[in-house]
């Protein structure tokens, strides 16, 4: 039971760290620099931790830059205020994402430049073979646990979350972060800070702060707010793995 819960929590937060650190703060915003070795390392780390729901850094970066430019307008790739519900918002995002991965959508140059690319890994990570291998791995973990280690059958209901971990994280941030919470700044959009201590999404739910200061590594701005990813970034800076831009 403990092992199954640890597996789910580990997958949740490792995948989430890849999204907020590598895809968001590095790929989309270039808040810091790193060597080519560490870029490849975190690229691969993102693939391993996201598994079946691996997100292409280029597609993520382009969509996120568009989100900032068109926040909560009808051109926003994922605004909860221009879709009927959470699922239609996710589907709209999925259509744009697929078009970007396949290079079938023409995008303004300001959005489509200066991001990390590892074409071979992207192609494999986006393939159904890769997604199926990871999916079988998640299923096997719970089947073995159920058959031999007394894992409760209820854990099988977590499998859809494992399969779609990356998109689910994005959906929570884009829906909750633009509907629920408070605002420190008037950004002329609907961005909100949903939690004071964002233990759930590792800082991603400080959307109002982030839209006001899009290049700030620390998403928390008030004394009572805490972005859990920021201390990790400070540690990586101290270890000279990354160098924040001034």
The C-alpha atoms of residue 77 and residue 75 are separated, in whole angstroms, by: 6
Residues in the chain, overall count? 246
The pairing of strands 32-34 and 242-244 is antiparallel
**pLDDT in the model for residue 170:** 95
**pLDDT in the model for residue 150:** 83
Domain chopping of the chain, boundaries: 2-244
Q: Write out pLDDT tens, residues 192-232.
A: 999 999 999 999 999 999 999 999 999 999 999 999 999 99
- Distance between alpha carbon 49 and the CA centroid of its chain, in Å? 11
The C-alpha atoms of residue 63 and residue 60 are separated, in whole angstroms, by: 5
Residue 1: CB atoms within 10 A of its CB come to 11
* Non-local CB neighbours of 34 within 8 Å, separated by 6+ positions: 26, 42, 241, 242, 243
**pLDDT in the model for residue 147:** 83
Residue 228: CB atoms within 10 A of its CB come to 19
> Rounded to two decimals, what is the model's pTM?
0.95
Residue 226 has phi, psi (to 5 degrees) of -140, 120
C-beta separation of 201 from 169 below 8 A? yes
Going by C-alpha positions, the residue among 65, 73, 62 that lies closest to residue 98 is: 62
Bridge partners of 182, per DSSP, are 193
C-beta separation of 142 from 151 below 8 A? yes
Give pLDDT < 50 ranges for the chain.
Answer: none
* Non-local CB neighbours of 181 within 8 Å, separated by 6+ positions: 192, 193, 194, 195, 205, 208
For residue 182, the number of C-alpha atoms closer than 13 Å in the C-beta half-sphere is 7
The C-alpha atoms of residue 166 and residue 47 are separated, in whole angstroms, by: 11
DSSP-derived 3-state class of residue 105: coil
The C-alpha atoms of residue 58 and residue 113 are separated, in whole angstroms, by: 8
**pLDDT in the model for residue 137:** 97
**pLDDT in the model for residue 159:** 96
For 139-184, the DSSP string reads HHHHHHHHHHS---GGGGGGHHHHHTHHHHHHHHHHHHTTTSSB-S
Tell me the torsion sign for CA atoms 82, 68, 229, 48: positive
Bridge partners of 242, per DSSP, are 34
């Amino acid at each position: 039971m403990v092992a199954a819960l640890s597996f789910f929590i580990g997958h949740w937060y490792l995948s989430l760290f890849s999204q907020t650190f590598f895809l968001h703060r590095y790929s989309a915003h270039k808040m810091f620099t790193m060597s080519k070795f560490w870029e490849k390392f975190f690229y691969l780390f993102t693939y391993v931790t996201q598994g079946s729901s691996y997100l292409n850094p280029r597609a993520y970066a382009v969509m996120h830059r568009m989100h900032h430019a068109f926040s909560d307008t009808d051109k926003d790739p994922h605004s909860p205020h221009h879709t009927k519900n959470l699922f239609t918002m996710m589907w709209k995002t999925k259509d744009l994402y697929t078009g970007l991965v396949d290079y079938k959508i023409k995008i303004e140059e300001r959005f489509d430049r200066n991001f990390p690319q590892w074409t071979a890994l992207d192609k494999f990570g986006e393939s159904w073979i890769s997604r199926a291998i990871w999916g079988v791995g998640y299923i096997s973990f719970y089947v073995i646990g159920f058959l031999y280690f007394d894992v409760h059958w209820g854990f099988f209901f977590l499998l859809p979350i494992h399969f779609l971990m990356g998109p689910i994280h994005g959906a929570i941030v884009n829906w909750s972060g633009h509907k629920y919470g408070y605002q420190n700044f008037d950004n002329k959009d609907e961005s909100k800070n949903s939690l004071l201590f964002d233990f759930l999404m590792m800082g991603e739910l400080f959307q109002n702060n982030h839209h006001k200061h899009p290049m700030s590594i620390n998403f928390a701005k008030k004394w009572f707010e805490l972005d859990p990813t920021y201390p990790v970034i400070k540690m990586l800076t101290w270890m000279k793995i990354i160098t924040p831009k001034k």
